[in-house]
């Protein structure tokens, strides 16, 4: 059982986080990331073989070049949209008509401090991007908002069917990194409210709160500690175990 304090602490032992996971095929996925690429890549590089970012904006190439060594790059067009499980109306998305034709995938081979990995930048709708990826080892989402406007995607990653898709994609013992943005159903308690309930307390100048562990869709969510802050808001790292998962 975790100590009462562990959820308040920054996670330091990353080898423990990834224990038992297949690092040769480990995928990090961060939708609506904008140019927030350096910190996550540098943090997770020893444990991840493919970093997948998704945004309707083009890749922040100069940011990437500053963060890592890029050895090779090429772009392709994403195909197979017609087989996607969500129709555009299922999940509210901003200006979907305008972005529906975006389907570029920019690939890079890169390294950082001796770790080699691929970077895939999906320049398309981020829900569509997630559907292109079989399994996710780390799902990361932060500093976004559930309401359209002021640059927020408005994509409800932590809500309803979309969160079920996220849970399905995350492997057994995989990780969720979130500051709770794109969560909070107003005024209602949900089993997974701990993901966003203390959003105000997530401000990094407040003491860290300790979110409770919970279960949802037969998956157990265990808060392991805090992640680096972004715009003064801290994220938490959750371990997701699926007791019914096939070995």
Ligand X SMILES: C[S@@+](CC[C@H](N)C(=O)[O-])C[C@H]1O[C@@H](n2cnc3c(N)ncnc32)[C@H](O)[C@@H]1O
Site membership for ligand X, residue 94 (CB under 6 A): yes
When binding is defined by CB under 6 A, the residue of 38, 107, 131, 152 that contacts ligand X is 152
Question: Considering beta carbons, is residue 27 or 37 the nearer one to ligand X?
Answer: 37
Of all helices (H) and strands (E), which one includes residue 15?
helix 14-17
Tokens 């081979």 belong to residue? 109
The pattern of x and - marking residues 115 through 134 that bind ligand X according to CB under 6 A reads ----------xx--------
Binding segment for ligand X among 65-73, 136-144, 170-178, 193-201 (CB under 6 A)?
Answer: 136-144
Binding segment for ligand X among 3-11, 77-85, 146-154, 217-225 (CB under 6 A)?
Answer: 146-154
As measured in angstroms, the least distance from the Cβ of 184 to ligand X is 16
Please work out the total of residues on this chain that contact ligand X, with binding judged by CB under 6 A.
Answer: 21
Nearest partner of 32 among 122, 103, 164, 119, judged by Cα: 122
As measured in angstroms, the least distance from the Cβ of 42 to ligand X is 15
Question: How many Å apart are CA 92 and CA 149, to the nearest integer?
Answer: 13
Question: How many Å apart are CA 53 and CA 46, to the nearest integer?
Answer: 17
DSSP 3-state of 224: strand
Cβ–Cβ < 8 Å for 90, 18 = no
Site membership for ligand X, residue 54 (CB under 6 A): yes
Site membership for ligand X, residue 151 (CB under 6 A): yes
Site membership for ligand X, residue 142 (CB under 6 A): yes
- Rounded to 5°, angle at Cα 123 from 117 and 128: 95
């Amino acid at each position: 059982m975790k100590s009462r304090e562990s959820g308040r602490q920054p996670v330091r032992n990353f080898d423990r986080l990834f224990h038992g996971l297949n690092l040769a095929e480990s995928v990090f996925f961060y939708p609506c990331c904008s140019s927030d690429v350096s910190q996550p890549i540098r943090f997770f590089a020893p444990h991840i073989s493919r970093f997948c970012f998704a945004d309707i904006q083009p890749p922040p190439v100069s940011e990437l070049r500053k963060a890592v060594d890029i050895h090779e790059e090429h772009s392709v067009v994403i195909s197979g949209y017609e087989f996607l499980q969500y129709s555009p109306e299922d999940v509210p998305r901003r200006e979907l008509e305008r972005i529906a034709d975006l389907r570029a995938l920019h690939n890079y081979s890169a390294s950082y401090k001796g770790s080699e990995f691929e970077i895939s930048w999906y320049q398309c709708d981020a829900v569509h991007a997630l559907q292109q990826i079989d399994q996710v080892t780390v799902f990361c989402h932060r500093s976004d908002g559930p309401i359209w406007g002021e640059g927020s995607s408005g994509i409800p990653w932590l809500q309803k069917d979309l969160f079920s898709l996220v849970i399905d994609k995350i492997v057994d013992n995989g990780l969720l990194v979130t500051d709770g943005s794109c969560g909070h159903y107003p005024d209602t308690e949900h089993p997974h409210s701990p993901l966003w309930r203390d959003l105000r307390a997530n401000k990094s100048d407040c003491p860290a709160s300790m979110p409770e562990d919970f279960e949802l869709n037969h998956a157990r969510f265990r808060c392991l500690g805090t992640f680096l802050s972004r715009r003064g808001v801290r994220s938490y790292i959750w371990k997701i175990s699926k007791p019914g998962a096939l070995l």
